[in-house]
Structure 1
């Protein structure tokens, strides 16, 4: 079973951090288990409804890297020209994310983007459609 470290951010500002084993872009909910409980062998987690979220951050570390100036941006034009689109997502709360996506399907709750920042703690981010104000394609 694949373990993913996640930070689920709700539209109202709440956050849930931990491990998930059952996230799927095709499902309406998933479970997050705090890391301390996961280490104790518990499999009972908090049920998280995707429709209530702003985004789900799949991360390297639950501690994050704090607030630092942006690091080097990764965008290799030759590598990404054929496959990924560079986009900017603006949420209703004003936060913006810049990354790449292979596309999105409105029949799902959201879609994945991969951050462009080389030193980002985020591996990928599942952004939820009903929290998005605007999606802009960048060059």
Structure 2
């Protein structure tokens, strides 16, 4: 399996950048090879319950000036259901989903902005303050 570039955001505000090859939405633990790490101590065990979200990114730098589109243009159709998620820390994430179930540990959101650095986001359900379909 090809490694996925991720940015893991913890509930306490910490951020971990690196790659993973063993993240599965139904598993409580996965491992991240820390960005820039080369030694055995650079593989970090991550508990899903400690996280707010996992951002699967195209690259680690992104474009800090990019303002992500959060609404569909007139006539534009989304695949899946358009959803707005407000995390307990106040961050708002908008995207589409086909698998939201508040009973599950988390769900994927796919940004509607094709130029966003995030390819997809796995949101941890217990870190969500509010979720609504748009």
Relative to the length of structure 2, the TM-score reads 0.87
What are the ranges of 5 or more consecutive residues in structure 2 without an aligned counterpart? Answer: none
1:31 match: 31
Please, which moves more after superposition, 127-136 or 65-74?
65-74
Tell me the residue number matched to 1:103: 99
Counterpart secondary structure, 1:133: strand
Query: Quick check: which one's helix share is greater?
Result: 1
Q: Cα–Cα, structure 1 residues 18 and 28, in superposed 2: closer, same or farther, change >3 Å?
A: same
Unmatched tracts of structure 1, length 5 or more = none
Partner residue in 1 for 2:19: 19
1:42 is displaced (CA, Å) by 5.6
1:100 touches 1:113 (CA, 8 Å); kept in 2?
yes
Number of the residue aligned with 1:2: 2
1:86 aligns with 2:77: no
Q: How do 1:105-124 and structure 2 match up within 5 A?
A: 105-124=101-120
User: Hey, what's the Cα distance between the residues in 1 that align with 2:70 and 2:125?
Assistant: 28
Per-residue CA deviation, residues 42-96 of structure 1 (Å, 9 max, x unaligned), is 696100000110000000001122143335965632xx3xx50000000111110
Seen in structure 2, the aligned counterparts of structure 1 residues 123 and 74 have a Cα distance that, compared at 3 Å, is farther
- RMSD over aligned CA atoms reads 2.2
CA–CA separation in structure 2 for the residues paired with 1:69 and 1:128:
24
Gap change, CA 1:72 and 1:49, over 3 Å in 2:
closer
Contact 1:20/1:33 (8 A) holds in 2: yes
CA distance in 1, matches of 2:129, 2:70: 27
Q: In 2, Cα distance between the equivalents of 1:32 and 1:59?
A: 14
